A and B are shown apart, each in its own frame.
Chain A
Amino acid sequence: MKLQTATSLALVSVLEAAGHPERQVSASDIAAKYGVSIHNLAKVLRELGRAGIFEATRGAGGGYRFDGNAKRLTLFDVIELFEDISARSPEAGGADPATDVGRALAQVLAEIDEIAKATFRSITIDTMLKMVERERAAQPRAA
């Protein structure tokens, strides 16, 4: 499954901010760390602010702070702010849904999408942070 760029940026931003809830994050910090467009990222952060997941602070040193419940907020909650993955495979990958083959293919793709959605709904930001920590611990330390 491939997520849209804005969705991926949102997930990265939420994980960066939720990993350090006492700190503010800025678009420039995240853009520099992940090598992404600051323009696109700024739009994503504003959307997360509108959704109440981030709290915006203005002025010098301003930025965003995570303002959600990491144990309840799921990947799906963030994803659905930016794209509708429920409507991902309505047409059997291009096959005509008016045909038997098209409908049968649509059934298989819908099954895959349901599993993907259930996976996103079952993983909270807190669980993701634990996974990030395990990945960090598994990496060899820099000399």
Chain B
Amino acid sequence: MEASLAVRPVEVRDLDAIIALDAAVTGLPKPDYWYELFHRYGTRGRQQRFFLVGDAAGEIQGFVIGEVRDWEFGSPPCGWVFGINVRPNARLGGVGTRLLEAIVAAFRRAGVTKVRTLLARDNNLVLSFFRSHGMTAAPFIPLELDLEGASQ
């Protein structure tokens, strides 16, 4: 799988396969969301936004999406990976690694020296994947406020 895989920028013809892959994994089809992401991240000429796919003989095996974010809460510009997925049948074949390597290379070309991501605590599979590539806890703590339960 790894040898025959080409990692390239997404094209509009890939969206049906991406929507199907996401729906198969999450159980929730979101076509509008993916078309919107394509327009924001997949069109040509983006210098800081990246939407890449793994293509094996015309079949989409996975995708990765990320961007360079500048000065969030005082943090110098860094690369953010906010989406990565691999077809369940193609896992453990190096597809995710190739996708991550490609977006990290894009971040390097964009001039950043840190890559970050954010995952649910119980997403063990993807957490383990990022850990296996050397990612460790960042010096940040994600917080949330439950608006339903918050006092006025």
Residues of A within 8 A of B (CB): 71, 74, 114-115, 118-119, 121-124, 126-127, 130
Contacts and interface: CB of A to CB of B under 8 A. Distances in A.
B56 interface: no
Interface string B115-143: 00000011010011001101001000000
Contact of A119 (B92, B132, B134, B137): B137
A134 to B, nearest CB: 8
A126 B131 CA distance: 10
Interface residues of B, number: 10
A121 B124 contact: yes
A122 B129 CA distance: 8
Nearest to A123: B131
A83 to B, nearest CB: 20
Contacts of B124: 74, 121-122
B127 A130 contact: no
B132 A121 contact: no
B131 to A, nearest CB: 5
Contacts of A74: 124, 128
Given A74-B128, A130-B132, 8 more contacts: A114-B121, A119-B137, A121-B124, A122-B124, A122-B131, A124-B128, A126-B132, A127-B132
Contacts of B137: 119
What 7 pairs between A and B have smallest CB-CB spacing?
A122-B127, A118-B121, A127-B132, A127-B131, A121-B124, A122-B131, A123-B131
A9 to B, nearest CB: 23
Of B92, B132, B137, most buried by chain A (CB within 10 Å of CB) is B132
Nearest to B124: A121
B128 A123 contact: yes
Interface in B73-120: 92
Nearest to A114: B121
Contacts of B134: 130
A123 B135 CA distance: 10
A15 to B, nearest CB: 15
Nearest to B127: A122
B130 to A, nearest CB: 8
8 contacts: A71-B92, A118-B122, A121-B124, A121-B127, A122-B124, A126-B132, A127-B128, A127-B131
Contacts of B132: 71, 124, 126-127, 130
A118 to B, nearest CB: 4
A121 B132 CA distance: 12
A3 B127 CA distance: 22
A94 to B, nearest CB: 25
Nearest to A117: B121
